[in-house]
Amino acid sequence: MPQSRRTSLRRAVIGTATAATLSVSVMTPAEAAEYPVGHLSQAVSNFFFSPGRVAGANTGDCRPSAAHPTPVVLVHATGVNLGANWVTVAPTLANAGYCVYAFNYGMTALSAGRIGGMGDIPTSARTLAAFVDQVRAATGSAQVDLVGHSQGGMMPNYYIKRLGGAAKVRRFVAIAPSNHGTTLSGLVDLGTNLGVLGFTNFMLTLAGAPSLVQQQSSSAFIKGLFGDGDTVPGPRYTVIETVNDHVVTPYTNAFLSGPNVRDVTIQKQCPNDPVGHIGMFEDGPTVQNVANALGPDDPNFQPECSDYGTAL
């Protein structure tokens, strides 16, 4: 990432993250360090060569500060790993003073140790539950904040609603989540109309990619997860989505309904932002919205409209 872009994004996010705090009396390791903020090329490199490690996360020496007392757990998307998905968000939040953690989940025989999020979603949610408890024990924090992308913004709903996670999650920030499933730009509907969807789903499950079936808008999993309502009392939910999402379709399927929800459409804030589903991991306005959702959680927040992510 060019130095000017990195500095601009970090300045915007740190300003957002510390808007409610005039001074910090305790300097945590996360605040003392300067982690390099990555870009698309770094994400591609990490996908292959650093699937389990990313700058700013899992440092082992971070203790939550008075300014940022809640540790942040990052939950990656389908088809990637923590090293690739969080090259921008993890170091940016760590540089702003947060204690940041990330993990890989959903690895199957197809994954080659790199392609995550392919496995059964309830099983992945149990992996999340165990990781959250590890983070809580390591930091002494009663709760965590969750930030997830795509499936990583949907799967934690199972943890929160079905595995007792509501009491352990303060805020849940979802980036382009597959909450109400996806039609995959109509392919799911086409498969149904042609009578081949069932066979296709059988083969996907057999091959080791059940999550691809479970994230379809017509799946029994999605209907069961949200059939009793989108949210539960306790966590504060923020959904951040782009109108240019061609993975979660229609893009409005990402949004949640409930008294403790704020749905954010990037183009309502920054009309010229071309960012697509994948590119949100490095998109400046998206990252700034993540920081705002973690605190101060201003409902009228307006990001700096620059440093756009890719249109992927």
Structural domain boundaries in the chain: 3-294
H or E, element range at 144: strand 144-149
Q: Summarize the chain as % helix, strand, coil (round to 5).
A: 40, 10, 45
Can you tell me whether residue 205 is helix, strand or coil?
helix
What gap in Å lies between CA 310 and CA 274, rounded to an integer? Answer: 7
Burial of 45 by CB count in 10 Å (0-12 exposed, 13-18 middle, 19+ buried)?
middle
User: Which residues make beta-bridge pairs with 100?
Assistant: 57, 72
- Cβ–Cβ < 8 Å for 237, 261: yes
What gap in Å lies between CA 125 and CA 157, rounded to an integer? Answer: 8
Number of C-beta neighbours around residue 147 at 10 A? 30
What gap in Å lies between CA 265 and CA 252, rounded to an integer? Answer: 9
Question: Half-sphere exposure of residue 308, counting CA atoms within 13 Å on the CB side?
Answer: 17
What gap in Å lies between CA 299 and CA 66, rounded to an integer? Answer: 23
The dihedral through the CA atoms of 256, 259, 262, 265 has a sign that is: positive
Per-residue pLDDT tens, the chain, 312 aa: give them.
455 555 556 556 655 554 433 222 233 444 456 999 999 999 999 999 999 999 999 998 899 999 999 999 999 999 999 999 999 999 999 999 999 999 999 999 989 999 999 999 999 999 999 999 999 999 999 999 999 999 999 999 999 999 999 999 999 999 999 999 997 753 444 333 344 345 455 456 656 688 999 999 989 999 999 999 999 999 999 999 999 999 999 999 999 999 999 999 999 999 999 999 999 999 999 999 999 999 999 999 999 999 999 988
Tell me, what's the pLDDT at 12?
60
Contacts for 68 with CB less than 8 Å, ≥ 6 apart? 17, 28, 96, 97, 98, 99, 294, 295
Tell me, what's the pLDDT at 312?
87
Does CATH place domain 3-294 in 3.40.50.1820? yes
Tell me, what's the pLDDT at 280?
98
With tokens 């799967």, the residue in question is: 155
Can you tell me whether residue 238 is helix, strand or coil?
strand
Residue 218 C-alpha from the chain's centroid: 23
Tell me, what's the pLDDT at 206?
54
- Cβ–Cβ < 8 Å for 132, 160: no
What gap in Å lies between CA 74 and CA 149, rounded to an integer? Answer: 8
